Amino acid sequence: MVSSCPSCIQYQNNQQKETLIQHDIPKTVWTKVGTDLFTIFNENYLIIVDYTSKYFEISLLSDLSSATVINHTKSIFARHGIPEIVISDNGPQFSSHEYHQFANSWDFQHETTSPEYPQSNGMVEKTIQTVKKTLRKAILSNNDPYLAILALRTAPRPQHPPPSFCLMNRHLRTTLPSSNQYLKMSYNQHAKDLKPLSPGQTVRLHQNKSWSRKGIVLDSNADRRSYKILTDKNTIITRNRRHVLKSKENFEIDDTDIDNDEIDKSEQQSVPQSSQQQQPVPVSVNREPQSVTVPQESAPVSTNNQSVDSEISPNLKTTRSSRTVRAPMRYR
């Protein structure tokens, strides 16, 4: 009797909600988009949102005619391409014969949602809500609304890159920190800066998965964490702070006979060629740890309390890295 009563049926409660039917999200960006109109500060706007990347485009409308909506839609499609599916509500601009002809001529499928059921196009409705709030905040705080829109397009999402990166495959430059800051925070989570080193400190260098090479700091670039090291083989190399270990050992240059082929030419410091025999880099090393003095270039080399002048002794040779090589006794 109740179900056949017109008055009872007219004022009965709303029906319960049904199970959710989700949109199919394409794997390719700008394949399926949603479009709608909204009004803010007495101005009318057109919005188009990509279902895959969540990237949106908005355009200020001079009027609400179908021709104006179609022209602005063409402008957006000319920038990003023509999608395969366009979803809209049944507004007069989208249900008109002009829009139907536009869909046929531009070769895309136009789908409309049920009237008075905006959640069918929930992607666009949620984006409109976010854009309106952002524009209101920007205008009331006297900030640039275009920068606010740019911030929305470049804002990172949980477990997803920003919409602009999904669509364009590149990070857009903004005035606000974006995904690069989150990348740095993630990288620095288990990182710690090492103490800087000073010239004259004895160090060990990482080589062949061990700290087998000894050296002494000559110069440093703290901004780049780069250090110039004089090794115990009398070669000058450059290493990052991560590959330099502070040591309290005594530093001495190894003057044993070494083949020239054993020197890593890629690590040697380039020395200008000259017609005369080049002088070695004079270094005087004390027995006290972390103590080194570098005299003038005209002074002789002092190694293990032995002073040798390369110009006087014919048994000495100087490599391009300014390392002095003494010939074995059988060749003297």
| pLDDT category of residue 255 using cuts at 50, 70 and 90 | low
- Measured CA to CA, the distance from residue 56 to residue 74 in angstroms comes to 15
Q: Which of 252-256, 285-289, 319-323 has the highest mean pLDDT?
A: 319-323
Instruction: Provide the 8-state DSSP code for 238.
Output: E
Residue 38: per-residue pLDDT: 94
Question: Of 289, 191, 283, which Cα lies nearest the Cα of 241?
Answer: 191
Domains of the chain (ranges; CATH) run 32-181 (3.30.420.10)
Of residues 213 and 323, more confidently modeled: 213
Q: What is the mean pLDDT of residues 313-328?
A: 71
Strand-by-strand arrangement of the 284-285 sheet: 292-293, 284-285, 301-303, 306-308
Q: What is the pLDDT of residue 129?
A: 93
Give me the pLDDT at residue 183, please: 66
The string of pLDDT tens digits covering residues 24-35 is: 888 899 999 999
Are 283 and 233 spatial neighbours (Cβ–Cβ below 8 Å)? Answer: no
| pTM for this prediction | 0.55
